[in-house]
Amino acid sequence: MNLILDIFPYAIAYTMPLLAAALGGLYSERSGVVNIGLEGLMVMGMFVSAITIAAFEPAIAVWTLARCQARGIDIVASPAEYQAIFNHFHAMVLWIGVLAGTLGATIFSLLHAFASVTLKANQVISGTAINMIAGAITVFLARTISGSGNISIKLGFLRGDVPVLSKIPLLGRLFFSQTYATTWLVLLILVVSWLLIYRTPFGLRLRSCGEHPQTADAAGINVYRVRYIAVMLSGAMAGLAGSVMLVTYAGEFTGSVAGMGFLALAALIFGQWKPLGILGATFFFGIAATIANVAPGIPRLSSIPEWILRIFPYVVTLVALMLFSKTSQAPRASGEAFDKGKR
Amino acid sequence: MKSKILVLMVLVALVAAFTACGGSDSNTKKIGMVTDAGTIDDKSFNQGTWEGIVRAETELGIEKKYLKPSGTTTADYVREIANLYDAGYRFIVTPGFKFEQAIFEAQSRFPEARFVLLDGVPHAGDYNVVMGANTVSISFAEHQSGFLAGVATALQLQSGAVGFVGGMEIPPVQRFNWGFQQGVAYANANLGTTVTMDAQDVIYQGTFSDVAAGQQLAITMFDRGVKAIFAAAGGVGVGVINEAKARASQGQEIWVVGVDVDQFNDGIYSGTSSVILTSAMKRVDSAAFEMIRAHLENRFPGGQFMTMDATNNGIGIPAENPNLRPEVQAQIQDILAKLKSGTLTVSPEQGGLIK
């Protein structure tokens, strides 16, 4: 039990990029566009975020010094104040990076939208193309810019306890201690997504485009527009996922996100295309992966062969997919290009 | 008329150039290198090797050139080796175990050339080692390097717990680990420190790339109160350093011991503060330099396996690191001298050590 308590905050941190990417997949698929390209969009988001942060990093110290001088703070006499101002600017730069990564992947996702909505191309092929292009172009650019294929950032977000709430017994320790600011952003987006999809006219239109686009069209909805917006939201979320990975635990861009995009797709299916289902599925992955990662250092777990712990989440997913496939609730028009002329 | 003279002059120049290339005497001084994955300034094997060659240029007057393969397959490596050979380079240095198969091919294809393979042994992909008479394969005494880092860590911390995170469980990484443990034990027994190392804090993650796992392992160790982690784990070590940087910038006193090269700069989190306490280095630069010197003095040990250790300055910790107290550095020099003279030995075997 103590073990779960100890690793819980870190499992949550590990879950967040997965959750963000899966939510991205949700928007896209709910509008009827399959998005295999989540992996590539994450890579793009991570890359843009990394070059942005790397570009701004040298400025942090300069800004900090300027602010210290403006306020008349002696940096030798009061290092704590210097550090506080430094942390402030540092967090600002990271947020700029996250924003840039989100925007970058959004723009990149327009390729997928253009191919699969406007040109009515096969969505799986278009998504695969996104994955291949993203992997190649980012590494090429990274090599051109930095000389090597990697772009590393000096320091990511710092974890912190939420004031007051982290003092609640048990719950405080599970959910409100050692959290990243980005975790709260992603959770906020989850809540907003739920409201958007189930409680707004836009959400209804989005879902109807994914279930029966011809009917939606007959009702006067611009299916193309809705699908474009959905794919862009999907790109934004995947880009956010890649950026969050970078600023929380990855710390450097190496040209890949190690299959997280595909794992997000699996979580989307496991979670039955529902926001709360996705939350459950991604968190399950997060905690299982964290246990597998830390197991070698925990005496009680190290007796279990490591490979069993490592394959555990994937095996459970396979079994669950087999069990639920009969009652699978995939959006009905998902994967079909919309053609106004067809009925 | 003028143009004819010009053509003639160019021709003469060309002929002269080619004859110059053909002379075997001048070829002796041409030292080539093929880079591994990454760039010449990768703060690791490529850079270290190149620095050794640059030093040979200033001290021994050689002519240097490096080529960067377009990929990291054996075919890419062999192509660049052939390019160097065609340009008259008969002494080629290759850093890293990825060159094992390329050197296996090259040593029989170019019997006139000499090859230095750092941290690897030539084989055809089946790990049956075939040493050509024109190849020297250099390995490093990682256990001695780890030992020095272990002693330095123990002396600096005086008390508390330390841990080890390794990449794959392969001999070089294991030797780092065993050496480090012996170093800590030596300091406890002879230098009055009380640093502990628990079995649960000695872990091989299993890859050299899983940054997230590296961070999570570091979290569990630091949460248990470990004060310093020796990370010999490539990308997994990056995760360990990331976690340490985050904690250090929140005021925690924790450290990471780097590996292979001086990783001080990788550990900088603010200004000039770094979480890298010291680094267990392999001196690829002096390996490359020594081999070039042996080559020029006609005592190239072709066909041999060489070990770089304390006696030939092949391993060590950085001479300068503000995180270590000056007296610790002085004590390390003493111990290095003892390793050199052989009065102190470090075992490259596990024995009774953890993992």
Domains B2-140 and B142-281+316-341 share a fold: yes
Residue B21 is predicted with a pLDDT of: 46
Instruction: Say if strands B276-282 and B273-274 run parallel, antiparallel, or are unpaired.
Output: unpaired
Which pTM was predicted? 0.84
Cβ of A158 within 8 Å of Cβ of B249? The answer is yes
- The answer to whether B204 faces chain A, any CB pair under 8 Å, is yes
Interface of A with B in 113-172 (CB under 8 A): 147-149, 152, 154-159
Alpha helices by DSSP H, listed for chain A, are 2-30, 38-71, 79-113, 123-146, 171, 181-199, 201-211, 213-218, 223-245, 260-270, 275-294, 306-324
Could you give the percent of chain B with pLDDT greater than 70?
91
Extents of the domains making up chain A: 2-327
- The answer to whether A83 faces chain B, any CB pair under 8 Å, is yes
**What chain B residue is nearest to A247 in terms of C-alpha separation?**
B242
Residue B14 is predicted with a pLDDT of: 56
pLDDT in tens, B139-148: 999 999 999 9
| Average pLDDT per block of 10 residues along chain A, 343 residues long | 79 94 96 95 96 93 90 82 88 96 97 95 95 92 78 88 86 88 95 96 95 93 96 97 94 86 91 93 91 82 82 83 78 86 72
- The answer to whether A341 faces chain B, any CB pair under 8 Å, is no
pLDDT in tens, B40-86: 766 678 888 998 999 999 999 999 999 988 877 899 999 999 999 99
- The answer to whether B252 faces chain A, any CB pair under 8 Å, is no
Residue A1 is predicted with a pLDDT of: 60
* Per-position b or e across B110-139, b if 16+ CB within 10 A of its CB: beebbbbbbbbbbeeeeeeeebbebbbbbb
pLDDT band at B9 (very low <50, low <70, confident <90, very high): low
Residue A250 is predicted with a pLDDT of: 87
How would you classify residue B158: left for phi > 0, otherwise alpha for psi between -120 and 50, otherwise beta? left
Q: CB-hemisphere CA count at 13 Å for B259?
A: 29
Is the pLDDT at B23 greater than 50? The verdict is no
Most B-contacting residue of A16, A293, A302 (CB-CB within 10 A), to test interface: A293
Distance between CA atoms of residues B7 and A333, nearest Å: 73
CATH: 3.40.50.2300, 3.90.1150.10, 2.40.50.140, 3.40.640.10. Which one for B142-281+316-341?
A: 3.40.50.2300
Closest CA to B80 of B106, B104, B101: B106
Residues 6 or more apart from A118 whose CB is under 8 A from it? Answer: A224
pLDDT in tens, B116-163: 999 889 998 888 899 999 999 999 999 999 999 999 999 999 999 999
Domain A2-327: which CATH class? Answer: mainly alpha
Average pLDDT, chain B: 89
Q: Which of A155, A258, A290 sits opposite B216 (nearest CB)?
A: A290
Closest CA to B297 of B59, B45, B106: B59
Most A-contacting residue of B50, B177, B216, B245 (CB-CB within 10 A), to test interface: B216
How near does any CA of chain B get to the CA of A46, in Å? 15
pLDDT band at B176 (very low <50, low <70, confident <90, very high): very high
Cβ of A251 within 8 Å of Cβ of B211? The answer is yes
- The answer to whether B200 faces chain A, any CB pair under 8 Å, is yes
Is the pLDDT at B172 greater than 90? The verdict is no
Residue B56 is predicted with a pLDDT of: 93
Instruction: Say if strands B268-270 and B255-260 run parallel, antiparallel, or are unpaired.
Output: unpaired
Extents of the domains making up chain B: 2-140, 142-281+316-341
**What chain A residue is nearest to B39 in terms of C-alpha separation?**
A148
Distance between CA atoms of residues B299 and B296, nearest Å: 8
Q: Which of A148, A249, A299 sits opposite B39 (nearest CB)?
A: A148
- The answer to whether B223 faces chain A, any CB pair under 8 Å, is yes
Distance between CA atoms of residues B87 and A331, nearest Å: 63
Cβ of B220 within 8 Å of Cβ of A251? The answer is no
How near does any CA of chain A get to the CA of B354, in Å? 13
Cβ of B270 within 8 Å of Cβ of A297? The answer is no
pLDDT band at B17 (very low <50, low <70, confident <90, very high): low
- The answer to whether A64 faces chain B, any CB pair under 8 Å, is no
- The answer to whether B203 faces chain A, any CB pair under 8 Å, is yes
pLDDT band at B22 (very low <50, low <70, confident <90, very high): very low
Q: With contacts defined as CB-CB under 8 Å, which chain A residues touch B238? A: 152, 251-252
Is the pLDDT at B19 greater than 80? The verdict is no
**What chain B residue is nearest to A297 in terms of C-alpha separation?**
B200
Q: With contacts defined as CB-CB under 8 Å, which chain A residues touch B164? A: none
Average pLDDT of span B160-176: 92
**What chain A residue is nearest to B36 in terms of C-alpha separation?**
A148
Distance between CA atoms of residues B132 and B206, nearest Å: 32
pLDDT band at B202 (very low <50, low <70, confident <90, very high): very high
Is the pLDDT at B350 greater than 80? The verdict is yes
User: Residue B69 in 3-state DSSP?
Assistant: coil
Domain B2-140: which CATH class? Answer: alpha beta
Cβ of A158 within 8 Å of Cβ of B42? The answer is no
